[in-house]
Amino acid sequence: MIIDETTEHTSPSRSGISRALAVIDVIARTPQAQGVSVIARETGLSKAVAYRILRELVAGNFLSFDEDTKVYRMGPGALNIGLAAMRELDVPSVAHRHLVALSELTGQTATLSLRQGWARVYVDQVLSRQEIRMSVALGTSHPLHAGSSSKAILAALPDTEVEDYIDHHRLDSVTDATITSATTLRDEISLIRAAGYAVSVGERQAEAASVAACLHGPIGQAVGSVSVCGTRAMFGETSSRQLGEQVAKAAADISADLGAVRETAGERKDTP
């Protein structure tokens, strides 16, 4: 009998790597640090095997272990790899197929914006197939208080950053419908956070309307937003709600592809 030594020696190694990746995945995708019992249950490993893998990952600085609470979380080694992955992240390439699907689903133009400091920039769009349709100028920069794509990003920022924006940036009007009051903007942000998407009717373009939701990166940061836009006549209260839910779903799918942790059903979303 001939034994393939390559297969004989590498199979256990691949199995070990697969198990280690399963352990890392559980820890990376769970908001709270976890103990060995939960990790073993989620991965289907025995506690002994899970514990051995965890200790090896801790020894390699990939995980950290809290001696008091007996839980594991991502360590400095994982952060280095995550940051390297983020540098290689091409958001438009990841998001484009979702924009195509969203435009086909809604019949509207779908757009992608990326955050750039205290502004956001259109970087991609998939035009509606309708004869009357909206389009945006790619590469143009817009403030974070005007329009749904902007407000979706602003509402996803921590309260301290929202207040920093309000305190140090003029809330200039782009149209007569643009929010220029700090109090009104704060109220709007609360509504966006509760709904999961932002709505704009004539705030950036007088005859246009849109709904948008924020995109999140691997560490939960607001990286941009996705929207659908059309004429004001196309966006009634009922249609805006339905479109908002569809856009929020697309944004969650894109965020997941970017490495963001997807919230589980019924999980409370804390204020950013």
HEC per residue, the chain: CCCCHHHHHHHHHHHHHHHHHHHHHHHHCCCCCECHHHHHHHHCCCHHHHHHHHHHHHHCCCEEEECCCCEEEECHHHHHHHHHHHHCCCHHHHHHHHHHHHHHHHCCEEEEEEEECCEEEEEEEECCCCCCCCCCCCCCEEECCCCHHHHHHHHHCCHHHHHHHHHHCCCCCCCCCCCCCHHHHHHHHHHHHHHCCEEEECCCCCCEEEEEEEEECCCCCEEEEEEEEEEHHHCCHHHHHHHHHHHHHHHHHHHHHCCCCCCCCCCCCCCC
Most confident stretch, 24-33, 128-137, 144-153, 164-173: 144-153
**What pLDDT shows up at residue 36?**
92
Give the chain's length.
272
Rounded Cα–Cα distance for residues 224 and 203 (Å) = 19
CB proximity list for 166: less than 8 A, separation 6 or greater: 182, 185, 186
Domain ranges of the chain: 5-86, 89-257
Tell me the per-residue pLDDT of 213-244, one tens digit each, with 9 for 90 and over: 999 987 788 999 999 998 887 777 668 889 99
Q: Is residue 157 predicted with pLDDT exceeding 90?
A: yes
Percent of the chain having pLDDT more than 90?
51
Residue 165 in contact with residue 155, Cβ under 8 Å?
A: no
Rounded Cα gap, residues 177 and 171, in angstroms = 12
Measured distance CA(119)–CA(91) in Å, rounded: 17
Assess contact for 187 and 162: CB atoms under 8 A. no
The Cα–Cα gap between 22 and 80 comes to 19
Q: What is the pLDDT of residue 12?
A: 40
Per CATH, the homologous superfamily of domain 89-257 is: GAF domain (3.30.450.40)
What is the mean predicted confidence (pLDDT) over 197-223? 90
Among residues 171, 197, 168, 172, the alpha carbon closest in space to that of 182 is found at 171
pLDDT of residue 108: 92
Tell me, what's the pLDDT at 85? 60
Residue 6: the pLDDT is 33
**What is the predicted pLDDT for the residue at 182?**
95
pLDDT for position 76: 80
Q: What is the pLDDT of residues 34-86, one digit of tens each?
A: 899 999 998 899 999 999 999 999 998 888 898 889 999 888 877 677 666 65
| pLDDT greater at residue 262 or residue 271 | 262
pLDDT at 154: 96
Please report the pLDDT score of residue 133 as a whole number: 82
More confident residue, 149 or 17: 149
Residue whose structure tokens are 């942790």: 261
Specify the pLDDT at position 27: 84
d(CA 31, CA 35): 13
CATH number of this structure's domain 5-86: 1.10.10.10
Parallel, antiparallel or unpaired: strands 119-126 and 208-216: unpaired
